[in-house]
Structure 1
């Protein structure tokens, strides 16, 4: 184990694109580093977390600056395929070409996640910039709860039934609060959803940041 880790660390340092060998493509180095460390599996626990941190570090080195993307998030979101592909690459002929195909796809997904995170933060900033002063304490609690879900959103939308326990108010007050926000275009009804009216926040661009329209 110590010998394998020494070989791995020496290789990692020798292939650092910021100071030495620039012939190894960045994405290949990231994929090899991730796989090699995980195959060595030097710890009783946390190998996955350390391996993903190494991959993020290697990706930052290949870019020449700290990446805003999080490769760990993309890998954790695809655990079943990740472990399957890692297992295939670490057995038999040790051919890593299929692993590279899979890993490159995860890196692309990482960039998509990073973009979604940036869009979410900007949209949240824009919402509070435009509507923050208009919210009552109850409404502010509901909005905070929605944003706490992050880029994936508040599953199922906002309803009076969900508004009540979050803001600790009766159904009539919840209905009145939501109607008030609809009238002021702070929330908008979702299409479909059955008999229960569901809403989502009316997100806006923060001034001067210019979110890309999609």
Structure 2
């Protein structure tokens, strides 16, 4: 723009170029500042995913170990004749049968969930695999808890009996059977604790997305 007053002429230089440079620098600064924060969050989520994978391996061992231990629990009391024997086996009790089937399902699910856990390690910011694991972990936790709780009640009765219902404590005679079934129940509760940790970790990771 030019303005004339008498013999003097004033020329105003536009500042559009300076404003353009300033506008060009602002996104560059923001991009540079955003990358470290993005990498920091990605590293935190990747650490959770790695820990998730390790815990799943432990839960798989606990669940399958519980199913195998209960499924192989059997004891026969020695007597003089083979036609008169007392035998205790897991399939004599429907609760223990349910325990073996249920923990087998939980263990199979944990094996199938390992590839999805690996996906969350490779892609820490992926929401779909974490959400899928959170939903199915909750369902598996429900089944696992029901199996462990019902079997724990039978194990308690086997050790202590119930005088009101006239149920005898069979663990005085079938010691090996009770010891093996008790170990299976403890292993199942270990899997329950790991599932709770997995669910809390997945929920925390989704909340930070």
TM interval, short-chain normalised:
0.3 to 0.5
- Whose strand fraction is larger, Structure 1's or Structure 2's? 2
- Whose helix fraction is larger, Structure 1's or Structure 2's? 2
Task: Please say which structure displays the higher CA radius of gyration.
Answer: 2
TM-score, normalised relative to structure 1: 0.32
TM-score, normalised relative to structure 2: 0.33
